[in-house]
Structure 1
Amino acid sequence: MHGDATADGVVRTTSYLPGASADATFRRLYARAADPEASIPGGELTEVIRTELRRASPGTGQPLDRLVGKAADWSTTSAERFRAVADLADHDARRLVVRRAALGWAPLGLASGAWLQWLTSPGTADQPLFLRILRLYASDIGAGHPGAARGDAYLGLLRQLRASENAVPLARLAGEPRIDDTAFRLPALLLLMSRRPGDFCQELVGADLCLRAVGLPPPLALARPELRADWAAIDYSAARDGGPAPTEECHAIADALAGKAPESAARVLAGFAWTLAALRDQAEALHAQLHASLDPGYDMAELMRLRAREGSVYHHQVRIEDRSLSAWLTDCRDDPRPFLDVLARSRLVKPGRSAASLLVTGLVGERGPMFRVFSPDDLTIIRRWIDALPATPGSPAAAVADEPAGTRAAVEGTPDRQRLAVLTDLLEAGAAPGRGPSDLREAYRMLMTRTGGPELRDWSLRYVNGWLARARHRMTPRSVPLPVRWTTEGLRPWLQTQHDRHGVEFEESADIPLPPREAVVDDAVQTALLTLIDGSWLQGFTDYELASSDIGHSLFATYWDELGNGEAALNHPLIYREVLREMDVDLPPTASPEFAAWPGFRDVSFELPVYWLCIGRFPRTFLPEVLGLNLAMELSGVGGSYRRASQALRTYGFSTRFVDIHNTIDNVATGHSAWAADAVDTLMSSLPDSSGAGGRSEVWARVRAGYRSLNPPGGFMARRAARRARIPAGRRWRGTAVASATEEYNGV
């Protein structure tokens, strides 16, 4: 038997401890916050989280450097404690303990860095501090490469351990019964905060710095000697691909935020201290479970608890000691120990001799009544338990001693579930009643942030549906340059043809006079509403799981390019503002109320940018349409209109840098246009070749509509189709009166 070695050399065994809690509060929060289109209400929910942060980090008052040192020291000490557990285990137990350790940290490890996913928004996309955060996040997700996020490296670790069955997508992990509910607490709250970036920016940066100071998760000290993995990716403090040290980069960001105001500094410190306290609690609970699992009886009890529910359905006729096996298994859901005592005395088990025990020979053989009921790992657990049973006749069937002091408290007492259980109720209740935008200018301003109430979400959804209805109006094979049908050769040949056509059109326009200076300036001003939110139709692909997916990795890379790869000098909105200043146009900050109200903008100029901002919030709902829009956008100026615009700007003495950059990075060979075509091909090649819902024909029609949505028809009938599509289905019966009432979009 394995257990605690005391000073007198006696080894005490550990009694059964419950594994996954019946309270699934944090699992539910984790699954909800993993949704890239999640709408997390503010108000009371944010106050509950703030109260929790303050409770766990009262009056820190310590310099950030000292906290970083404490986190690093704790990580080192904790890792040694986990390594000591491994030293107590035999070969089979060590393999099981390593797997349990990796699973126990999986909710955090698989989401490593996800808490930074929404900190950059259309309204902050030209601010140097937020560009630095985006650069840090881009490194975490392996920008531009599929499956290169830190979480993907952790997934590779689970796959080596054959423990990844429920690991993808993140929301699926919440149903993994082998992980204790306490393991979801910290990552669930971090993910929730990530969906309210305006409320928790400082706290998230403080939390991120703490996690980087900790580095490699201490429980993985068990696994590192056993497995080959991408440890530099799993270690949150390690630089990737020769980049800057992420801990130092995050420290600089935290210092910048802390230097803004005393309140800002306190929030950064609170985020750090709360995270460190939560990490300690989580590690302590996992350490207690791992130590307990060295006793084969613990693992056997856990296995019985996990399998009891389904097993109790089938064994009403089988009796053990005057009770049906079904009744025993029903009791196992609460406490398996009594049944293990009975099982150890039964004819199914030969204590100390698993090879001679019917439980793991005939019953589970290919002709046995329990064939394939237990996995190979389950059978290893059963054999270990049988072999550890005392074989001497008359000895107790299963030695059960007191638990190590504090073990149950570590597993069950952290955290105070009653205090945070209200979060699930608040999520289900949703946000307090509010209102949607009254016009396009207000919509533009409200959409500068990632968050918003249900009214804004509903308004955005209806606006997108209306715009797409307009794009689909009288859509014929000739009205969209894309092929009528997608073929397996993909879009690259078509892309080259379009590029050739743009070149011919540019040459043919050589004799056409350039527009006057006033028209060039006016066009630049009206287009500012688009260019200052460059890439916003792709903002949803900063979401952690989408940003490194097979389709989304190139969309994130495109978005990151538009914002200058984290460098203010390369940031497209900032470059465009330089051109405007050359034209004597100095606009207010993009996210300010003054910007949307600026009288130099015409109302109609808000139509398309508001569509970009709206559809960017629904990367899953409108995936085919976003891909089509992205392709149209990236291809639109390459080889033709960008060159024409460059000529006009140069003629009147303005910088051509903005259009010149786009003409190169959007190129059809290795640039954004090529990436856009590849993303479409990746989606289409994954679909069934059918005309039904979800088949290639249906999805391709949606891609073509998305392509056309960059420049949809503007006639009366097309706009009427848009208005009708925006009317909620339950109100359409009221007819034209309702249609007139919905013309709230400034004439759209």
Structure 2
Amino acid sequence: MSTVAQSSCSPSDDLLTDRLTSLPLDRFECSPGTEESAAGILAGDPGELFRHLLRDQESETSVLVALRVVMAFLRSVPEPADGSAPMTVEDVAGAVVDVTREARADLVAAVARTGGGDAGVRGAVLRRRAPVAMLAGCWLDIVSQPLTQPSVIVNQLFQHHFRYKGEGNEQRAVEHLRRRALEDEGVRLPGILAEDFNARAGVHPLTALHAAFFVALSRLPGRFLPETVGVHYAFHALGLDDLLFATEPVLDEAAVRAPLDAYLALTEQSPDGAAERRRLLGAVRLVVAMEKEQSALLAEVADEEATLSLEAKAARILRRHAPFAGSQHRGVKLGDRLLADVLGDPGLDFDAFMAEFRSSYHLRELRSGGSRFTRALKFGGPMFGIFDAGESAVLDAWVREVQEGVPTPAPAPGTPGADARAAARRADLTGTAAGDGVVFAEPRETYDDRTLFHRLVHAESFPSIRRAAAARAEQGLLDGELLLEHGAGGRYTDASSFTYTPQALLDRVDRVYWEKLVEPYRPLTEIPGRDEVIFHQMTFALANLIDGTWACRIGNLGRFDRRSDALLFGIYADEMGRGELAKNHVVLFKKVLDSMELRLPHIRDEAFLDQGEIPDSLYGFSIHQICLSLFPDSYYNELLGYNLAIEMFGLGEVRLHEMEKLRRHGFDTAYEKTHLSIDNFSAGHARQSAEIIISYLDDVRRTAGEEAVQTEWRRVWRGYASFAYFVEHHLVKEIQASPAPGPDASADADLMI
């Protein structure tokens, strides 16, 4: 059961106010074999650990790695001497503010040492900080999901997430703003998912481990809700990036104080409140420790850069380009070996290479000036264009220094303090895993729909369910392909295939809107009885309680570059009321249930497994939606098509008839009214959904050509058809019974949602 604070509110208010404060930590179920693969990733290079977590948001192994990373960091925080004593809300609030305020003062002083007026030093510092600066706020990526909605605290956090994502504009998202700020400082980096990001940023192992923690937490915000609140507050209250970049904060201390205070107030009525407050405070202390480690690292980087010799700068440049030397050097030798062989040696001792290169004929001064090496860098030379202007200038100066007989300087001081801290953090990662609740058990071959739905909602605690989820998602898409040939006969949809052009898509959705959704509407001449209306509403209930789920993982860190990402994220934000509970669609539907005097447990609760209001036969639609949502990379195209179908479905006849029936019996109609308005075909979600597809396929056309557009399009439309499969019940039966259904086969279609 989730931990939900009790309240003196009326039953109606209590039903509509989700006071979630934490979820159980007692079970984390993985398949056998994931332990070994996760252990290998955790024991590997920190940069590769960071890359793995960043690039893989779908696999079971990645979720286990995320758990182990989060637990290792949390365990590194020493318990205060009085940690076992009860901690009041006031105690914790005061401790949080005190510890962050004191640490921020230290950071202000530390930052003053890292930049100064030297552009080279400042650029080096910002480059090393870039991985953490660009991922700021990622811990909120999926804080909003079926497991946690419509929690009071989650919606407050989601308001901040919406701001971090540029309020649906990808160019205003913090990740992109930070990259442009780096460019303004002369630091040009690719996107954080790029293959060469770590190398270009010169990611230190300590920074990679810190970044891995934040990304790992972003995969498990429901399981670690107290920690997420603490991390969110501490990171912004400290404001290290704004100090470094000299920018105004996106979220200042006052802004992040609001969800902190709200959360602490909720824990006051929670049975586990004292433990939750300790967990939050522990997370705050952890972030303080990490940011102090970062400031110390950056101070070492600044000192190293300020005292870096030309020799060391040249070595850094040559080391970065060495892997790309290849065989184009042909007969060029260094000593008695081909230069290509020297640079291609995986065991190359670069210090020894630099010593040999210094004394080689390549750097000897020519009578006409310069050297063979520097001439090769000039226009017309074999290495022209390999090094940028700044790098070429450093290499020129270094060669002159060598020719003047300047002795080899002492090695640069490096970052010994940060190296030691990184080693300690790595030791934490490979330490004992006892007490993390992980159980390794072979997943079942099949699950009944209620159990499957429960585990999908709790996917953070049941990573092993992803195998079944992937199979179920694919089966749902295959089922939908039935309508690619015969879908024109649909009552509410037309999933029949067609060749994509932007205009062809707009024509299709226009016909569906008018011919299938609007023109068939006639006011009801007879209103069903109260019980029948309630029963019919319950056929929609499960889908409405997970409203927006298909898009809840769209726009995660590193995946917010395309206009289609931002538009789809904007639709999800609207479904969640942009963080305002009164506009949250799940809350609106709970009001409908409340007006019918229906009391359903939250879908995350064990009690929901035994609820008797929603028949087992109606779980399939919602299961398909959640399964697709767990694979936002693998099924991105299909999610775009599915989104179009579901946003169009509620327009016209279906929703208008529901409003007539609800109104007649005095039931709440806000949910139906809101969707009829927000999904409108003129400028609302229905129209936006078509534009999202056009935007995405336009990107495909410009980067991969028309043939690729049609390939990607077939997958998009497969997603649309998978939705149609669930609403065109009678048409599906007719198709399965006969190879050639008549045009009116679905005239009396029932809904399977």
Instruction: Decide whether aligned partners of structure 1 residues 145 and 67 sit closer, same or farther in structure 2, where only a CA change above 3 A counts.
Output: same
* Aligned-pair CA distance for 1:158: 3.8
1:97 is aligned to 2:92 = no
Q: Residue 99 and residue 323 in structure 1: after superposition, are their counterparts in 2 closer, same or farther (change >3 A)?
A: same
- Which residue does the alignment assign to 2:698? 685
Identity of aligned residues (%): 20
Which residue does the alignment assign to 2:408? 398
Deviation at 1:190, TM superposition (A): 1.5
Look up the match of 2:18: none
The aligned counterpart of 1:726 is none
Name whichever of 115-124 and 372-381 sits farther off.
372-381
Which digits, 9 at most, give the CA deviation of each residue in 1:101-139, with x for residues without a partner?
232112112212111112222022111111112112111
- Structure 1: how far apart are the matches of 2:136 and 2:390? 28
* CA distance in 1: counterparts of 2:68 and 2:711, whole angstroms: 45
Q: 2: CA distance between counterparts of 1:30 and 1:309?
A: 20
Number of matched pairs? 669
1:488 matched to which residue of 2? 502
Q: C-alpha offsets along residues 289-330 of structure 1, whole Å, 9 cap, x if unaligned?
A: 232223233222222333344548666965567777568757
> What is the match of residue 615 of structure 1?
628
Residue 478 of structure 2 is matched in structure 1 by 469
Corresponding position: 1:500 with 2:514 = yes
The answer (yes or no) to whether the contact 1:110–1:170 under 8 Å persists in 2 is no
Alpha-carbon spacing, 1:184–1:119, altered in 2? closer, same or farther (3 Å): same
Q: CA deviation at 1:186?
A: 0.7
1: CA distance, partners of 2:712 / 2:67? 42
CA contact (8 A) 1:42 1:431 kept: no
The correspondence of residues 643-722 of structure 1 with structure 2, limited to 5 A, is 643-688=656-701, 690=706, 695=711, 698-699=714-715, 701-713=717-729
Name the residue aligned to 2:292: 280
Which region of structure 1 is more displaced relative to structure 2, 356-365 or 655-664?
356-365
The DSSP-based 3-state class of the residue aligned with 1:687 is helix
Amino acid at match of 1:447: L
**CA 1:701–1:586: 2 relative to 1, 3 Å:** closer
Q: Deviations over 1:632-679 (max 9, x none)?
A: 111112233222211111111112111111111111122111221111
Secondary structure in 2 matching 1:541: coil
- C-alpha displacement at 1:413, in angstroms? 4.6
2:105 is matched with which residue? 73
Asked if 1:567 is matched to 2:576, the reply is no
> What CA distance in whole angstroms lies between the structure 2 residues aligned with 1:170 and 1:238?
30
Instruction: Flag the 1:718–1:590 CA change in 2: closer, same or farther, 3 A.
Output: farther
> Which residue of structure 1 lines up, in the alignment, with residue 441 of structure 2?
433
Q: Tell me, what secondary structure is at the counterpart of 1:52? A: helix
- Decide whether the 8 Å contact of 1:71 with 1:214 is kept in 2: yes
The equivalent residue for 1:416 is: 424
- How high is the TM-score relative to the length of structure 1? 0.79
The answer to whether 1:25 aligns with 2:46 is yes
C-alpha deviation, 1:584, in angstroms: 2.2
Aligned to 1:146: 170
| Residues 144 and 502 of structure 1: CA distance in aligned 2, closer, same or farther (over 3 Å) | farther
The yes-or-no answer on 1:108 pairing with 2:119 is no
Distance 1:355 1:398 in 2: 25
Partner Cα separation in structure 2 for residue 30 and residue 450 of structure 1:
22
Cα pair 2:592 2:668 within 8 Å, conserved: yes
The answer for the alignment partner of 1:136 in structure 2 is: 160
TM-superposed CA distance for 1:534, in Å, is 0.9
Q: Work out whether residues 320 and 346 of structure 1, in 8 Å CA contact, stay in contact via their aligned partners in 2.
A: yes
In the alignment, the residues of structure 1 paired with residue 519 and residue 408 of structure 2 have an alpha-carbon distance, to the nearest angstrom, of 85
2-side partners of 1:413 and 1:29: how far apart?
17
Distance of 1:478 and 1:315 partners within structure 2: 63
Q: Mind listing any 5+ residue stretches in structure 1 that lack a counterpart? A: 1-21, 225-230, 240-244, 722-746
Amino acid at match of 1:121: Q
Matches within 5 A, 1:2-21: none
Distance 1:316 1:412 in 2: 42
Structure 1 match to 2:744: none
Cα distance between partner residues in 1 of 2:264 and 2:401: 55
The 3 A distance-change label for structure 1 pair 619 and 332 is closer
Structure-2 separation of matches of 1:707 and 1:504: 19
Structure 1 counterpart of 2:465: 456
What's the offset of the Cα at 1:441? 0.9
Deviation at 1:435, TM superposition (A): 2.7
Change over 3 Å in CA distance of 1:383–1:411 after alignment to 2: farther
Question: Residues 303-342 of structure 1 correspond to what in structure 2 (within 5 A)?
Answer: 303-311=317-325, 318=332, 336-342=350-356
Report the CA distance shift for 1:638/1:701 in structure 2 as closer, same or farther (over 3 A).
Answer: closer
Change (3 A) 1:435 1:318: closer
1:269-300 deviation line (CA, Å, top 9, x unaligned): 22121122122223322332232223233222
1:486-540 deviations in Å (ceiling 9; x for gaps): 2233644554444433675355x23642323221111112321111111112222
Answer yes or no: is the 8 Å Cα contact 1:631–1:673 preserved in 2.
yes
The aligned counterpart of 2:11 is none
Q: Assess, with a 3 A threshold, how the Cα gap between structure 1 residues 707 and 445 changes in structure 2: closer, same or farther.
A: closer
Question: Hey, what's the Cα distance between the residues in 2 that align with 1:493 and 1:532?
Answer: 32
User: Residues 539 and 614 of structure 2 are in contact (CA less than 8 Å); yes or no, is this contact kept in structure 1?
Assistant: yes
Whole-angstrom CA distance in 2 between matches of 1:400 and 1:387: 18
Render the CA deviation track for 1:430-486: whole Å, top value 9, x for unaligned: 982243462111112112234254541111111122222221125326245267222
Show the counterpart of 2:8.
Answer: none
Letter in 1 for 2:316: E
Whole-Å Cα distance in 2 between the matches of residues 359 and 171 of structure 1? 33
Secondary structure at the aligned position of 1:466 is classed as helix
Residue in structure 2 matching 1:368, options 381, 384, 395: 381
Instruction: Report the CA distance between 1:43 and its aligned residue.
Output: 7.1
Q: Secondary structure at the match of 1:451?
A: coil
Given candidates 204, 229, 236, the residue that maps to 1:180 is 204
1:263 to 275, 279, 297: 275
Contact 1:534 1:562 in 2 (8 A): yes
Q: Secondary structure at the match of 1:121?
A: coil
Cα distance change, pair 699–312 in 1 and its aligned pair in 2 (3 A): closer
| Whole-angstrom distance in 1 between the partners of 2:263 and 2:210 | 20
- Distance in 2, matches of 1:423 and 1:457, equals 27
2:149 to 125, 144, 149: 125
- 8 Å CA contact retained: 2:559, 2:565: yes
Q: Alpha-carbon deviation of 1:600?
A: 2.4
Q: Quick one: structure 1 residues 527 and 707, their matched pair in 2 at CA, closer, same or farther if it must change by over 3 Å? A: closer
TM-score (norm 2): 0.79
Cα distance in structure 2, aligned partners of 1:619 and 1:166: 22
- Quick one: structure 1 residues 301 and 718, their matched pair in 2 at CA, closer, same or farther if it must change by over 3 Å? farther
Matched, 1:510 2:526: no
| Displacement after TM superposition at 1:698 (Å) | 3.1
- Give the whole-Å Cα distance in 2 for the aligned partners of 1:149 and 1:334: 41
Q: Give the letter aligned to residue 432 of structure 1.
A: F
1:602 aligns with 2:615: yes
CA deviation digits over 1:4-44, x for unaligned, max 9? Answer: xxxxxxxxxxxxxxxxxx96234323433443324356779
Relative to structure 1, the CA distance from residue 288 to residue 455 in structure 2 (aligned partners, 3 Å threshold; closer, same or farther) is closer
Distance in 2 (CA, whole Å) between partners of 1:383 and 1:424 is: 52
How many angstroms apart in 2 are the aligned matches of 1:154 and 1:524? 47
Question: How far did 1:612 drift?
Answer: 1.4
Q: For residues 219 and 366 of structure 1, do their structure 2 counterparts lie closer, same or farther at Cα, with a shift above 3 Å needed?
A: farther
Query: Could you tell me whether the CA contact under 8 Å between 2:576 and 2:585 is conserved in 1?
Result: yes
Q: Which residue of 2 aligns with 1:742?
A: none
SS in 2 for 1:82: coil
- 2:10 alignment counterpart: none
Preserved contact between residue 103 and residue 178 of structure 1 (Cα < 8 Å): yes
Tell me the equivalent position of 1:19: none
Answer whether contact 1:203 1:267 (CA < 8 A) is retained.
yes
Distance 1:332 1:677, change over 3 A: closer
